[in-house]
Amino acid sequence: MLGLPAMTLPSHARVVVIGGGIIGTSVAYHLAKAGWKDTVLLERDRLTSGTTWHAAGLMVTFGSTSQTSTELRKYSRDLYAALEAETGQATGFKPVGFIEVASDEGRLEEYRRVSAFNRLHGIEVHELSPAEVKARFPLARVDDVLAGFYVPQDGRVNPVDVTMALAKGARLHGATLLENLPALDVVVKQGAVKGVVTPQGTIGCDVVVNCAGMWARQLGAKSGVALPLQAAEHYYLITEPLAEVSRDWPVLEDPGCYGYYREEGGGLMVGLFEPRCAPWKVEGIPEDFSFGEISPDWERMAPFLERAMSRVPLTREAGIKKFFCGPESFTPDLKPLIGEAPEVKNYFVAAGLNSIGILTGGGWGRALAHWVMHGQPDVDVTGVHVDRLQPYQATAAYRRARTVEALAGLRLPLPVEVAAHRARREALCPPPGARRRRRVLP
């Protein structure tokens, strides 16, 4: 193909990983480290060029009541802390701590339950008084805060550096990583993976792992694999430097104000989880969208931004350095799509990370690699198995509506979320065929 430098393409690989974001590099790293050196990773553009390059880098173990997610978060944090010693490439991991604040009774109850579950799994969670929150993050307004939940060992990473460290580790352990080389299609014969087509020829292979991020659905569809994920706008704002800000402050998160806050470049980053989101490019993600940004919708976001900034009032007076919007993939139930697709044998998937791909990426790479090598994962994947969803959930109409609905529930306090979910379930009538089981038995 014109524009692509000639390269020697292996004629065969045991595994071809498609996608060089944090997830694909993590899968390749774990396969190669475990001895499956005959692994080739294909990246359409350059490593991190999809979503990973612009992630905020929160590395947080607090917050889940899933044993699988909690264990994978812990594993990821430990891995990112250790990768530099193994590879020589820094990950930017800074254990500055993390505080989740509750400013209503629903969230207080929820975070106390989460804390108990997290402690059971070895995470050190401290419940803080409002004054203690203020002492650790002095710019926060705490007059309406009921409590904070503090994990001293959590913090932040640099997502590009983590990915580069995983890529370097994968290469050091023997994997081959090829950039500027898109996978055009997957060769399927008699219901099983046989190879991957690239502009420079076909690589025969035994296993494919689709880690193509927000492109994974389009790629899967070419092989008849239904991957119901949808990109949506995702925002953060970065202020000009502020003399009052310390680099050592913990990351602060307040779902009640739709925001999270951390130091960035001497100023503050205000990250947003708005309760009414905007799906992006429902008709299809452009093939050439690399290191891309979406023009921010100031009008839509202004009320959410205003509320987020009210938790740290000085951010309203600070100069705005950047209001960033980038796409992230979301799934209908906000759980990732992991495992062997029921439609095609040896077609594995790790995509749809729902805005926590950095803090779980090390773990999902390990679990997926284990599944490929041993025929089963090393964690309980009941809630995340790709075969739980149905093909109708990949239609444009469903993705457009469900992404808005699902993301609205992301930051609601537990009792409200449960009530809203029940109401929705009662109101909704499943479309024809919705109850058809998708799992294909061998």
Of the listed pieces 46-54, 380-388, 419-427, 431-439, which binds ligand FAD according to CB under 6 A?
46-54
Residue by residue, DSSP assigns 274-316 as: -SS--B--TT---TT--S------HHHHHHHHHHHHHHSTHHH
| For ligand FAD, the closer CB: 40 or 142 | 40
Helix, strand, coil shares, percent, the chain, to 5: 35, 25, 40
Report whether 354 contacts 402 (CB < 8 A). no
Rounded distance, CA 296 to CA 326, Å? Answer: 9
User: According to the binding rule CB under 6 A, does residue 55 interact with ligand FAD?
Assistant: yes
User: According to the binding rule CB under 6 A, does residue 22 interact with ligand FAD?
Assistant: yes
Residue 252 pairs in a beta bridge with 99, 261
| For ligand FAD, the closer CB: 93 or 108 | 93
User: According to the binding rule CB under 6 A, does residue 356 interact with ligand FAD?
Assistant: yes
| For ligand FAD, the closer CB: 110 or 264 | 264
Min dist. Cβ of residue 319 to ligand FAD (A): 20
Rounded distance, CA 292 to CA 350, Å? Answer: 22
User: According to the binding rule CB under 6 A, does residue 155 interact with ligand FAD?
Assistant: no
Min dist. Cβ of residue 108 to ligand FAD (A): 24
| For ligand FAD, the closer CB: 277 or 353 | 353
Give the Å distances, CA to CA, from 334 to 86, 114, 337, 371, 383: 33, 18, 9, 22, 10
Of the listed pieces 15-23, 118-126, 140-148, 417-425, which binds ligand FAD according to CB under 6 A?
15-23
Min dist. Cβ of residue 434 to ligand FAD (A): 27
Report whether 59 contacts 76 (CB < 8 A). yes
User: According to the binding rule CB under 6 A, does residue 182 interact with ligand FAD?
Assistant: yes
User: According to the binding rule CB under 6 A, does residue 19 interact with ligand FAD?
Assistant: yes
Min dist. Cβ of residue 28 to ligand FAD (A): 11
Q: Which of 13, 15, 17, 18 binds ligand FAD (CB under 6 A)?
A: 18
Residues counted in the chain: 442
User: According to the binding rule CB under 6 A, does residue 193 interact with ligand FAD?
Assistant: no
Those residues whose C-beta lies under 8 Å from the C-beta of residue 272, and which sit 6 or more positions away, are 234, 235, 236, 237, 258, 259, 301, 304, 305, 308
| For ligand FAD, the closer CB: 108 or 227 | 227
H/E segment holding residue 441: none
Report whether 205 contacts 195 (CB < 8 A). yes
176: three-class secondary structure by DSSP: strand
Those residues whose C-beta lies under 8 Å from the C-beta of residue 1, and which sit 6 or more positions away, are 199, 200
Q: Which of 43, 100, 154, 264 binds ligand FAD (CB under 6 A)?
A: 43
Q: Which of 128, 268, 351, 367 binds ligand FAD (CB under 6 A)?
A: 351
Binding string to ligand FAD for residues 226 to 245, with x set by CB under 6 A, is what?
Answer: --------x-x---------
Phi/psi at 204 (5° precision)? -65, 145
Among 389, 381, 382, 329, smallest CA distance to 354 is for 329
Among 348, 353, 314, smallest CA distance to 331 is for 353
Those residues whose C-beta lies under 8 Å from the C-beta of residue 399, and which sit 6 or more positions away, are 228, 229, 230, 279, 282, 332, 393
User: According to the binding rule CB under 6 A, does residue 79 interact with ligand FAD?
Assistant: no
Phi/psi at 56 (5° precision)? -75, -20
Of the listed pieces 38-46, 242-250, 276-284, 300-308, which binds ligand FAD according to CB under 6 A?
38-46
User: According to the binding rule CB under 6 A, does residue 272 interact with ligand FAD?
Assistant: no
Of the listed pieces 51-59, 121-129, 298-306, 379-387, which binds ligand FAD according to CB under 6 A?
51-59
Of the listed pieces 66-74, 209-217, 220-228, 292-300, which binds ligand FAD according to CB under 6 A?
209-217
Q: Which of 32, 142, 219, 389 binds ligand FAD (CB under 6 A)?
A: 219
Rounded distance, CA 214 to CA 125, Å? Answer: 33
Binding string to ligand FAD for residues 359 to 398, with x set by CB under 6 A, is what?
Answer: x---------------------------------------
Q: Footprint of ligand FAD on this chain (CB under 6 A)?
A: 18-24, 42-45, 49-52, 54-58, 182-183, 211-215, 219, 234, 236, 326, 328, 351, 353, 355-359
